[in-house]
Structure formats: structure tokens, C-alpha cells
Amino acid sequence: MTRVLVGLSGGVDSALAAVLLARQGHDIVTATMRITVPDNPLSRAAGRGCFDCKTAGDLEAPARLADSLGLRHVTIDCADKFRQLVLDDFRAQYMAGRTPNPCVRCNCMMKFGLLPAAARDMGIDFDFFATGHYARITGDFRLRQAADKARDQSYFLYRLTRQQLQKTLFPLGELAKAQVRQMAKEHGLQVADQPDSQDFYSGDYADLLDAKPSPGDIKMPDGAVVGRHDGFWRYTIGQRKGLGVSAPKPLYVVDIKPEQNQVVVDFAPPLSQGCTIVDSTGDFAAKEKLWIKVRSGATPVPGWVDSDGRATFEEPQLAVPGQSLVAYDGDMVAGGGIIEKTF
């Protein structure tokens, strides 16, 4: 019998993934990655973000869910590693004026790296690791978009290697979210109607940066001071709302200068024709047209990425340093990288 380790968050997606695999005859063990502690001192938010402040009862919810399904469950304390691998990088990127995507880093290093490795260290032997992500894997172990494009999460998984994908299962890859909730109800899952999680953190990111207020200028490109800020790290390239500046037309953040403690704004959004990426994955060919996504919520646009990590877009894009660029060949993930500079 094939044994599958299922990453169980306590939500409907991972719960149904475990149920479906069990119904297929697999031997299921569920595992939860604990990345926070009760009354998390770093968090001031109490929503449904992964790193929000949680009670002891919240943290025990996945174990109770597994027990209700008759499945063996382990909870693995990953808080220290999460701080080292995800939070420390998150802080460093923001304090350098960039806007990171911690979910991308967490997926490749923590959920699909540390969690299964730690389970093996505990003596749990398994053949495959599975999650409730909406994505698919091809026969030659390439990452593919989910059938439900509105729920597709391949953007957040683009850094997974073929070696990882060979031992990974995505049971929900062919399903739409509405189907998942309906099937969860049919299987009697109490979490069938539970709201989806709210990304990494539902509060003010500044809570997590451990940075003291540092007032500075908000300037126009010509140097004219139009406002003040209490920390440049509270802003991101392309931001339009919440600038605290009165102007006859909407203003956008077009540059962040940490060294000068300045935020630069202008009346037009900072669209670019291309960008360079670093820490890239994939094998890009400059002459092949790809579909490029520069943010998780962005619409893919045609473009090219060469072997030196230089991406060019057919249509100007809001490419934000620190975010991930993911390129698709049809619905297959061709590769991606971290946006370094725009042009």
C-alpha cells in the first residue's frame, strides 16, 4: 500500500485532499507545520492569515480534524526555521525597499522542504507528499496550472524542483473550488464552509518588521516635498492608496530610497517594459514567446525571458522588485525568478 503524507492546515482544501487519497486506498498520515505560537508576540492580527495571532485551540484544530477523520497526525514545530528562512528574509527585503512574496519562499523551503524532511526524521516513512494546492503535475514531472484557473496556485509553487514534483500529489488539481466545497459536504467535513485563509498575514506588515518609526520625506521626481512618512517600509512600488498625501490627481509610489529614507511618488503608475530576475529557475530560450505573470494577482501577458534573466513584456507591466516573475509555456510553468530591476 502506498503511504502518503498530507500537509494538513485545518482548512477545507487540505482536508478534502486527505479524504480523497484515503478513499483511493492510500495509507494516510497527516502533518501540520506549526510556524507560530499561542498569542504570537509578533502578530497583532487575529484573522485567517498563516502568521496571524492564534490561540492554543486554533493551533490544535488540524489535529482534531485528523482525529475526526480517523487519520494519524503529527504536528511539527517549525517556528524557529520559519523565522530564519522566511521572516528574516521578509524583513531584510522590506528594509531594502523591495516587496517580497513570503508564500513563494515558504512553499519551496518549508511546506515542501522542511515539513516532509522533518516527518522522515521522526521515523515516518512515506512514498508521496500531498497538499490541497490547486495545481497539476505532468507525466514528466513539470508543474502545470490547475484546471480551475481562477484558483490556480502554480505561481506560488514555481520554485518546486522536478525532484520534489516526482514525489508530490495535488489531488485537487482537476477540481473547481465549488466542487471541493460540495464534495467536502458530501463527505461530512465540518470545515466544508470554512472561509479561505487570508494569505500570509492579514494585519499591517509593519508589525513584523521590528522597525521603529523613522520620519522622512515623500517627494515628487523633481525633488518637491509633498508629504511625510514615518517609515519607507510601509510603502510598496505601485501603491496608490493610503499615501497620506493630498493631490489633485491620484499619486503612485514610483520609487523607494532606503538610504535617503525617501518615498518618491508621481501621477502615473510606474509601468515598465521589462525587468531582470535573479535566483531564477527554469531553462529560458530568448526566442520563445511565453506568458509572463509579475504578481500573483496579475494577468499574464506575452513576453520573453532570456538565459541571462532579462524579461521583456509586450505590454507595459507593474513589475515590483522583490516579487516573483513566473513564466508559462501554455499552462506549463517554464520557470521564474525574483524581480531585481525594471526598465
If asked whether residues 101 and 220 sit together in one domain, one would say: no
Query: Could you tell me if residue 230 is inside a domain?
Result: yes
Query: Could you tell me if residue 202 is inside a domain?
Result: no
If asked whether residues 109 and 39 sit together in one domain, one would say: yes
Joined grid coordinates for residue 211: 522597525
Query: Could you tell me if residue 165 is inside a domain?
Result: yes
If asked whether residues 79 and 127 sit together in one domain, one would say: yes
Predicted local confidence at residue 224, as pLDDT? 97
If asked whether residues 60 and 158 sit together in one domain, one would say: yes
DSSP E strand boundaries for the chain = 3-7, 27-34, 72-77, 128-130, 135-137, 143-145, 168-169, 216-219, 225-229, 252-257, 262-266, 272-282, 290-293, 301-305, 310-317, 324-329, 332-342
If asked whether residues 257 and 327 sit together in one domain, one would say: no
If asked whether residues 259 and 286 sit together in one domain, one would say: no
Predicted confidence (pLDDT) at residue 145 exceeds the cutoff of 90: yes
**pLDDT tens digit string along 149-183?**
999 999 999 999 999 999 999 999 999 999 999 99
If asked whether residues 154 and 105 sit together in one domain, one would say: yes
Predicted confidence (pLDDT) at residue 291 exceeds the cutoff of 80: yes
Comparing 41-55, 69-83, 220-234, the range with the smallest average pLDDT is 41-55
- Provide the greatest CA pair distance for the chain: 69
Contact 325, 301 (CB under 8 A): no
pTM of the complete model:
0.94
Query: Could you tell me if residue 199 is inside a domain?
Result: no
Query: Could you tell me if residue 70 is inside a domain?
Result: yes
If asked whether residues 224 and 283 sit together in one domain, one would say: no
Predicted confidence (pLDDT) at residue 116 exceeds the cutoff of 90: yes
Task: Count the domains in the chain.
Answer: 3
**pLDDT tens digit string along 312-335?**
999 999 999 999 999 999 999 999
If asked whether residues 128 and 216 sit together in one domain, one would say: no
Query: Could you tell me if residue 193 is inside a domain?
Result: no
What is the CATH classification number for the domain harbouring 334? 2.40.30.10
Contact 325, 304 (CB under 8 A): no
Predicted local confidence at residue 1, as pLDDT? 87
Query: Could you tell me if residue 303 is inside a domain?
Result: yes
What is the CATH classification number for the domain harbouring 237? 2.30.30.280
Query: Could you tell me if residue 116 is inside a domain?
Result: yes
Which is more confident, 209 or 31? 31
Predicted confidence (pLDDT) at residue 122 exceeds the cutoff of 90: yes
SS3 144: strand
Predicted local confidence at residue 51, as pLDDT? 82
How far is the C-alpha of 47 from the C-alpha of 201, rounded, in Å? 8
If asked whether residues 59 and 181 sit together in one domain, one would say: yes
Predicted confidence (pLDDT) at residue 40 exceeds the cutoff of 80: no
If asked whether residues 222 and 330 sit together in one domain, one would say: no
If asked whether residues 56 and 110 sit together in one domain, one would say: yes
| Domain with 236 in it | 212-266
How far is the C-alpha of 320 from the C-alpha of 107, rounded, in Å? 20
**pLDDT tens digit string along 182-222?**
999 999 999 999 888 767 888 888 888 988 999 999 999 99
Q: How far is CA 202 from the centre of its chain?
A: 13
